Amino acid sequence: METCLDRLEQYLIEMRVYDEVQEHRQAFTIQEVAAALHEKGLHVAKVFIAWADGQLVMLVLPAPALVDLDRVREMLGATDVRRAREAEFARLFPDCDVGAMPPLGNLYHVPVYLDCTLADQPTIVFQAGSHRATLKIAMSDFWRLVQPKVGDFALMHAAQPESA
């Protein structure tokens, strides 16, 4: 089976997107990834998968931020929003290590919501399907490829009971 990184690189070539692959020591949290890359956490995106009224959605936010599910509920006009468990979404990303999905939900038929704190960054760094590799692309290319909806759902402070 083709790896996620192989698939992403082929897709980026086809879409004429310059990318930078960064390999690093194995890291399981996005904050560890940022540290391994010597990148500020605010410049590294993490993916959070949630259920919103029975549909999976991909939330993309800065590494040190937390998801405010109340804000997500309001943003989506949803009644029920909760964090999806890995077992509930792993099958949608068969070429990715669990928890290392790239924020290109469009490739997996999952709607993408980008937190406004990332929207104006010049580049976006994200996991490329494994706990050992990331990709860096221009934010303008990310916009063109993914066409995410923008929202304000990230908390940049201490965790709340239903935040992650």
Q: Give the integer Cα–Cα distance in Å for 72 and 48.
A: 11
Position 15 scores a pLDDT of: 97
Strands 112-115 and 149-151: parallel
Q: For residue 24, what pLDDT is reported?
A: 72
Using CB atoms within 10 A of its CB, is residue 111 exposed (0-12), middle (13-18) or buried (19+)? middle
**pLDDT of 131:** 84
Residues 6+ apart with CB under 8 A from 23: 132, 133
10-residue mean pLDDT profile of the chain (164 residues): values are: 89 96 74 66 86 97 93 97 95 91 96 94 91 91 97 74 45
Residue 34 is predicted with a pLDDT of 67
- Which residues contact residue 4 at a Cβ distance below 8 angstroms, ignoring those fewer than 6 apart? 93, 95, 96, 100, 101, 102, 128, 129, 130
Distance CA 113, CA 60 (A): 6
Beta bridge partners of 125: 44, 136
Q: What is the pLDDT of residue 41?
A: 62
Q: Please tell me the predicted confidence (pLDDT) of residue 157.
A: 54
Query: For residues 55 and 51, what is the distance between their CA atoms, to the nearest angstrom?
Result: 5
Sketch the domain layout of the chain as residue ranges: 4-155
Residue 127: name the closest of 36, 55, 56 by CA. Answer: 36
**CA 161 from centroid of its chain's CA atoms:** 21
What CATH code would you report for 4-155?
Answer: 3.90.960.10
Contact at 8 Å (CB) between 33 and 44? yes
